[in-house]
Every structure is written in C-alpha cells, then in structure tokens.
Chains A and B, each alone.
Chain A
Amino acid sequence: MLFASRSFCCLGIRTYQQRTDLLSRSIKISASATMAFRHKNTRRIEGLDSNVWVEFTKVAADPSIVNLGQGLPDISPPSYVKEELAKAAAVDRLNQYTRGFGHLSLVKALSQVYERVCGRKIDPLTDILVTVGAYGSLFSTIQALIEEGDEVIIIEPFYDCYEPMVKMAGAKPVFIPLRYKNDGNSPSSADWVLDSAELANKFNSKTKAIILNTPHNPIGKVFTREELQVIADLCIKHDTLCISDEVYEWLVYKGKKHIKIATLPGMWERTITIGSAGKTYSVTGWKLGWSIGPENLIKHLQVVHQNTLYTCSTPLQEALAQAFWIDYKRMDDPDCYFYSLSRELESKRDRMAQLLQESGLKPVIPDGGYFMIVDVSTLNVDLSDVDEKQPYDYKFVKWMITSKKLSAIPLSAFCGPETKRQFEKYIRFCFIKKDSTLDAAEVILKNWNKQTA
C-alpha cells in the first residue's frame, strides 16, 4: 500500500527519487501498523483530552438546530470594525510580523481605554500583553505564575478551561460554589453568592491564586463592590494573586456596574485583568485578548508568550486598535459600542427570559454577560433509560437537540466533581442571537409547552 500510493504522477511533478531507493533498501514489512508505540502523551496533559465544546459544537453543527449553546454571536459585528480590518489588510507591512507582546497601536489604545476605566497610569509596553483570545491570556497567566503544587481557588460554576489549565500547570484546583440564597419567585444572578466563611476556609499557605470571573459565565452575576472586597481582603491577607477574567466587562444591564477588582486598594499589584476583543466587539473569530497588570507580573506572562506563539495576528490587531480609538473618543457618548451593545443585549435578555417563563420555567435573570441559566428539572423529562453515564443535564441537552432541535450547554460542564449533582438540573442558553434565531427558539418553546401540557 505504501509503495503503490507513492507512485503517483497525477500532480505532474517529478516522481521521487526515493521510490527506487526505497525499493533497494532492505524491505521490512512495515512495522508501523503493528509496533507497540511506546510514546504516549506527556504527564502534563494526562486526563485533559475531553472538552465539552468539542462534544457539543459537533452535535449542534446541524443548521436545522436552533443554536443557543456556544457563546457565539450570530449578530453582525459593527460595520466600522469590519471596515478597519479591510483597511489594515490592504497595507503591505501589516501583513508581516509585528511586536511580539502586542502591536504598538493596539497596546496604546488599550492603555488609553483602561487608564480611563481604572483611573491609573497603564504603561502600554510593560503592563499589557496581547494574546490569542482571553483564552491565551488565561493560559499565559497560569503557566507564568502557577507552580506545581500550588493551589488555585476556582468559583463554581466556572468557565470550563480554568480547571484543565490549572491542572496542566501541575497545580490543584480548589473549588467553591456560588450558592443560591433566595426563596423568591424571580431568581436573579445576584441571588447566587459566595459564603464568606466557606471562602475564607479555602485559603491556605499553598494558595497561589483565585480565579474571578465577573460578569460571570454562566450565571451572569456581576460581583458587587462588597463581594469583591471580601475576596480582596483574603487575597491581601494570604498574599495571593487574583486572576480576573472580565471578558464581559461591558455587558452589564440596567442598575448594575462592573467593578474591576484591580482598582480596589492593595489589588493592582496582585491582579491580572483579562479582556477580550471577541466579547467586546462581537468578533469571537478574531481571537484577540489581553492581560493587564503590573510590570512585575506581566513580564512573566510575556516570557510564556514569547515561548509559545510569540506574536499575534498583525492586521487583526491593527483593526482592533482603530476600533478602540473610535470608541475611546466617544466613551462619554451613549452611542459608544461598549454601551450600545449592552442595551441591545438587555432587550434580548428580557425576551429570552419571557420565552422561558411562558414555558413554565424559572430562568435566572443575569445582571451581565450574554448567558442565562435555567432549571429544567421542573419539565420532568425522564431520561433514566438513556444509558450513558453522564450527568442529567448532559443527557437533557443531547435529548433536547435531537428531539426539539434546540441546543444549550449543560451546566455541570462548569463544575468540579463535588458539585455536579448540585448543578445538573441547570442548562445554559446564550442570547446574543439575532431576532430570527430567538423567533425560532420561541416557536420551539411554545410548542414544547403544548406537548407537555
């Protein structure tokens, strides 16, 4: 098979000299198919191969399915963002390598925007690193600052990559769940809180960092100043780092304010704040993110970055820089995309909540972000005959995709092993979707109600 397949001429190229040489070499039966390959993967990635997205994006790829699963906008990015990319790509030198730690015009734009937001000086060259998405920032931060044997506190439910990234660094994830503290009828993300005593107990001398995500995915919680202060106090007391994932920072709804933990006293020097172009400008496919923090921390992230992928895409960074300048200049104007997007999403949030409520469900109304979780146990869908050893919500979502043509993400994907039971009745919907998608979801939910009535 090997030799026959090499004797091709269909491309019209010169046939390889090696064919004759190969034949003249002593021919062993190709041992490759049968040899016991002694090389397996490294220890550092052992057990990190499965991934909820790989599983569910495949399942939901069918275009006939209404996809409210993966956090992927199907609305268009603003036109000026697309135009800036076209302009950037037309400049020859912007198609070649740029500065490794971040394209100059981009880090300058980021420093301006965030100086204004944080109320402190941010050096574009030393206090910022541009990465491949916020994902890349999380990776660089964890690889740079987390040592084998360290403990890292992760708040559940958590964006699923935190756990494997911490494990890949040889550290131990220590979980603490948000707990629902309200008996009222309209649950809100604000009702999900950390127990302060429980949190304090999780800190010890091995604790290197806590990962904070605000606004929170999947619940949509926007941590209040008081809540952040509790976390800050513990970080200072135990001299730990804070890795603050703030990708949804602009998506906060009426009455709520996003507060950066790095702006609390004593926190700048121990916090890495992570942001995302994908979430800021509805361009998840641009895969640009950034880490902002003090030089003595960022320099270590830069070392990781220069040894992993070195530099990010030039034209995308240039376009993003230009988009930031446009919005920076109108940060006092309600038309600034940072505010207009969140207004647009608030009405989608309200519509999504209404659809779910009309189906008899109790969605948890998020104060921020573009996800909404809902307890589906009240629908009493019996899946005990489904053989798979997966939590209820995994089975439910797979069933919902096949039988209702609607997709979501199971919440237990975002939990550590101890709390899966607690969260397996919840699923997560994404509502950064165009009207026609939400219309289609409405049809499904209305019909569902009829069938189960």
Chain B
Amino acid sequence: MLRRAGPSLRHFLLERKSSAGYSSYTSEAKMSRPLQARRLEGIDKNIWVEFVKLAATYATVNLGQGFPDFPPPDFLKEAFVRALSGENHMLHQYTRAFGHPPLVKILAQFFGKLLGRDLDPMTNVMVTVGAYQALFCCFQAFVDEGDEKAPKDGKLMSSADWQLDPAELASKFSERTKAIVLNSPNNPLGKVFSQGELELIADLCEKHDILCISDEVYEWLVYDGKEHIRIASLRGMWDRTVMIGSAGKTFSATGWKVGWTVGPNRLLQHLRTVHQNSAYHCATIAQEAVAQGFQREIELYGKPDSYFVQLPKELQQKRDWLVQSLDAVGMKPIIPEGTYFLVADISEFKSDVPEVPDSDEPYDYRFAKWMVKNKGLAAIPLSAFYCGAHKNNYNHFIRFCFAKEEATLKAANDILQKWKREKTSP
C-alpha cells in the first residue's frame, strides 16, 4: 500500500474551511448528532483506495503502486530472523518509545557522519511508523490552523528541467508561512534538487525564519552519478530542518513501516510530544533488524558491496529499460534523476481516450483508469500529486514505478508494444 495520503496532506496551503456542521450520516446510524470531527472535512477521499482497487481487479502488470516487487536484501531478512530466534524474547515487548536504542544509536552515527556533526541518539533522532508517521508528527507539531506551507509545483520538461521559478517561489512566502515541505529525490518526478536549488530554498527559509520538513526517503536512489544533498547540511539549516528517512525505501521493505526523523532537539522535542500521544511505541523487532542492516551498511559504506551502491545501480538499469519501452511506443518519459518513479507524457495516446468536456475528473485519471481496465497496465495519474487549482495543468502525465522484477517490466513492455501495434495497424 502506498504511503501517500490523498493530496490534502500535500496541500501546501492549509486553509481552515468553515463548516456549518454536518447532516450527513447513513440511515443505519441511530445516533442523531453529527459524528465526525470537522478536522476530517475534505480529507476522506483518497486516490490510492480507488486506484489500488482498480489495479487489484484489472491489472496484469502493476506499475502503479510504489513498492518493490523484489524482496528485501538477504542480510536484512536474516537480521529479522536472528532477532526472532535469538534468546532474547524481550524483543517481542515494548522498547524505548522514541526509538529502539540500537537503532537510534546507529542512525545517529550514520547520519552524523553524513551531516558532519555529532548527533545525540536520544535527542536528535526519533523513530516513527514509516516516514508517513514522521510527516504526520511534523505537521501536528508545527503547523497550526491558519499557518501556511509553501508549495513546490514545477514547470514542464524533464526531471532536471522541472524547476522552481525563484520569483514565484519567493512570492509564496508570507508572514503566515510556517514551513516548506521539501521532497528530494522527488516523488513523482524523480527530481534530485541541485546545490543551487537547495540554496535558494535555504535562503528563503532563513530570510523568513521558517522550518523545512525534508522528506528524503529516496535518498539512496540517485542515478547517473548524481549526488543527494541534504538540505540540513547547508549553512543555517540544521536548526530549522527535520530530515525524514525510511527503512522501507532504504532497504526495500515497505511493509516493515519503520521510519525516522533527524533534527535538532528543540524541534524533535515537539515531535516526541505528538508521537507519545498518538502511536507511542514502534514495533521492536523490525527496529532491531533495521539497526543491524545499518550496522552492515556503515561498515560497507562507499564500497561496491554496499546495498546503497548496488540498489541504485540495479534500479538505474530498470529505469533505462522502462524509459526505452515507453519511448519506443510514443509515451514521452521524463527521465528521473532519482527515486523509482518516472512520469510519462501520454499526449500521443489521447486518441484512445476521448476528452470529455466539463468532466469533473482530470484527464489523466480517466486515462489511467481506462488503461488499467482495457490494457491491464496500472499507473497513477500525475495530477493526483497536485493541488486542486493546478490539476488541469498536469493532466496528461502518468506515473510508473520501476522497482519491479525484470519479468514485470518485460510484461509491461509487451503490453505497450501490442498497444502500439493496434494503433498503427490499418
């Protein structure tokens, strides 16, 4: 299952909608008063619920959902088994609420080296239930009603060519801006923000004294010799940044739901408050195994055997494979610099799915639904990743996930080839 909520969580302007109260409840309800809290208003719809169901029903090849269909590395699975079968059955009981000590220690050590500073595992690291819950804690801890978060919509072109307009970005900041949410490498585009781009954002953060919530779950998935730069390591940024990571993406084990936050204590203390009042503890055994996974990686860092070297190498090949497949049939891929997603322009295939004037649904939603039902190939419409006002500017792209076995990618290619043949045959 994907870790993304509907677009509302990614909405960059938090506006408090005034509500006149509810009168909607089903006929079974015997309670006569309004039930749900107003805070749920507008966030009940969720794109994944719809598209995952479609994929489950129709897809023969699923490149929609963002998770690998290959297994986690052996060393990680072995670590899990060792934790399970060891003498210490206390690994089945609660561990430290803010993070299992072996895990926070190794994370502090690892990210401390990468950031070039001493990190205290007890105060500068907090473990969460996936990066998803880390994001939730950040928003709950720092964003009050009425605050604003600055957006990051891009302009057209290819992954590195999709950029923020500096003037436009600057204009989004106001007195009420509390934070900017940065996602690099970026899902869905695959953009890896450059030094200059990050400095632009950092300058604005400093100028307006705002927080940066930096979602870096794909930090190891960068291609073509690119480098992932951590905005927290830029001047002036450590004190105002919460960096978020994910074991699911790092170790191809999305089902383990282990994530973390790294940042200064004065920010993390508030995340701890949210965490201790919402989930409180995270599962112990998975944390133990992830700690061992990191132990191995810290020893192999930069070496050819490192999973953080091998995984991007493997994924780059898959990326190139899929790019080729799509290009060959006329879907125009935007070559991603990172992540395991790529976005393709489906304009040439529009004839298959006619425009419906005045439709409520963005074109790419209809296209993706038609494609999974008629071609058995699942993908996700790009406009799902945009706020309401911008959806129609980006409604001719769909997102594919290429963290898939060769056989899956080959099957996708077969579908695409057949589709093209059907289009061009007399």
Residues on A facing B (Cβ under 8 Å): 2, 5-8, 10-14, 16-18, 21-22, 25, 28, 30-33, 35, 37-45, 48-49, 51, 53-54, 57, 70, 72-74, 76-77, 82, 85-86, 89-90, 92-100, 132-133, 135-136, 139, 143-148, 161, 164-165, 168-169, 239, 241, 266, 269-270, 278, 282-288, 294-297, 299-300, 303-304, 306-316
Contacts and interface: CB of A to CB of B under 8 A. Distances in A.
A285 B5 contact: no
Given A97-B67, A144-B40, A296-B35, A18 B94 contact: no
Given A22-B235, A287-B282, A296 B92 contact: no
Contacts of A282: 92
Contacts of B143: 42
Contacts of B233: 6, 16, 18
Contacts of B235: 2, 22, 25, 30
Contact of B92 (A6, A283, A311): A283
9 A-B pairs closest in CB distance: A314-B255, A285-B284, A97-B1, A32-B239, A92-B71, A6-B116, A309-B133, A41-B270, A300-B36
B89 interface: yes
A26 to B, nearest CB: 10
Contact of B65 (A97, A239, A308): A97
Contact of B301 (A12, A72, A278, A286): A12
Interface of B: 1-6, 8-9, 25-26, 28-33, 35-40, 43-44, 46, 48-49, 65, 67-72, 77, 80-81, 84-85, 89-97, 113-114, 116-118, 128-130, 132-133, 136, 140-144, 178, 195, 199, 206, 209-211, 227, 229, 233-236, 238-240, 248, 252-257, 266, 269-270, 272-274, 276-286, 301-302
Contacts, number: 293
B142 A310 contact: no
Contacts of A314: 255-256
A133 B281 contact: yes
B31 A82 contact: no
A285 B285 contact: yes
Given A5-B117, A132-B282, 11 more contacts: A45-B140, A85-B285, A95-B253, A100-B1, A239-B31, A285-B95, A286-B283, A303-B44, A307-B5, A309-B133, A313-B255
29 contacts: A2-B116, A6-B233, A10-B113, A11-B302, A16-B227, A25-B199, A25-B235, A28-B236, A32-B236, A38-B209, A39-B209, A40-B270, A42-B140, A42-B270, A44-B140, A82-B84, A89-B84, A95-B252, A97-B67, A98-B1, A135-B278, A143-B39, A278-B94, A284-B94, A286-B92, A287-B279, A303-B43, A306-B6, A309-B136
A64 B283 CA distance: 25
B1 A311 contact: yes
Contacts of A85: 84, 285
Contacts of A297: 35
Contacts of B69: 93, 96
Contacts of B5: 306-307, 310
Contacts of B234: 18, 22
Contacts of B284: 285-286
A16 B229 contact: yes
B210 to A, nearest CB: 8
A316 B40 contact: no
A204 to B, nearest CB: 13
Nearest to B206: A31
Given A18-B234, A241-B31, A313-B257, A296 B26 contact: yes
A169 B37 contact: yes
A420 to B, nearest CB: 20
Nearest to B403: A96
A74 B35 CA distance: 41
A307 B9 contact: yes
A72 B142 contact: no
B31 A99 contact: no
Contact of A316 (B6, B279, B283): B283
A435 to B, nearest CB: 15
B308 to A, nearest CB: 10
Given A5-B116, A8-B113, A283-B92, A315 B256 contact: yes
Contacts of A44: 140, 144
B278 A86 contact: no
Contacts of B44: 299, 303
B92 A95 contact: no
Contacts of A35: 209, 239
Given A49-B273, A96-B68, A282-B92, A17 B195 contact: yes
B279 A132 contact: yes
A97 B3 contact: yes
B77 A89 contact: yes
Given A286-B283, A307-B43, A269 B209 contact: no
Contacts of A313: 255-257, 283, 286
A207 B43 CA distance: 25
Given A37-B239, A296-B25, A96 B67 contact: yes
Contacts of A89: 77, 80-81, 84
Contact of B240 (A2, A32, A135, A310): A32
A307 B80 contact: no
Most buried by A among B25, B35, B278: B278
